[in-house]
A and B are shown apart, each in its own frame.
Chain A
Amino acid sequence: MPLMYPLVFAAFLFSAGVYGVLARRNAVMVLMSIELMLNAVNVNLVAFNAYLRDELVSGQVFALFVIAVAAAEVGIGLAIVLLIFRNRETVNIDEVDLLRW
Chain B
Amino acid sequence: MNGQEVAFLILAVIGGLAGLLVVTSRNVVHAALYLVVALASVAGVYLLLAAPFVAFVQVIIYVGAIVVLILFGIMLTRAPVGRRVLDNTLRARVGAFVVGAGVFIMFTVFLGGAFGDERIENQGATATEALGESLFRNYVLPFEAVSVLLLAALIGAIVLARRD
Contact = CB atoms under 8 A, between A and B. Distances in A.
B118 A51 contact: yes
Contacts of A74: 66, 69-70
Q: Could you say which of A5, A15, A67 has the most chain B C-beta atoms within 10 Å of its C-beta?
A: A15
Contacts of A18: 96, 99-100, 103
B9 A5 contact: yes
Interface residues of B, number: 86
A86 to B, nearest CB: 8
A21 B96 CA distance: 8
12 contacts: A2-B119, A3-B118, A8-B12, A15-B104, A22-B92, A23-B96, A28-B79, A32-B23, A39-B42, A42-B46, A78-B70, A82-B77
Q: What 8 pairs between A and B have smallest CB-CB spacing?
A: A20-B23, A22-B96, A19-B100, A72-B153, A11-B107, A15-B104, A23-B96, A79-B160
Interface of A: 1-9, 11-29, 31-33, 35-36, 39, 42-43, 46-47, 49-51, 53, 56-58, 60-61, 63-65, 67-76, 78-83, 85, 91-92, 94
Interface of B: 4-5, 8-9, 12, 15-16, 19-20, 22-23, 28, 31-32, 35, 38-39, 42, 45-46, 48-51, 53-54, 57-58, 61-62, 65-66, 69-70, 72-74, 76-80, 85-88, 92-93, 95-97, 99-101, 103-104, 107-108, 111-112, 115-116, 118-121, 123, 126, 130-131, 134-135, 138-139, 142-143, 146, 149-150, 152-154, 156-157, 160-161
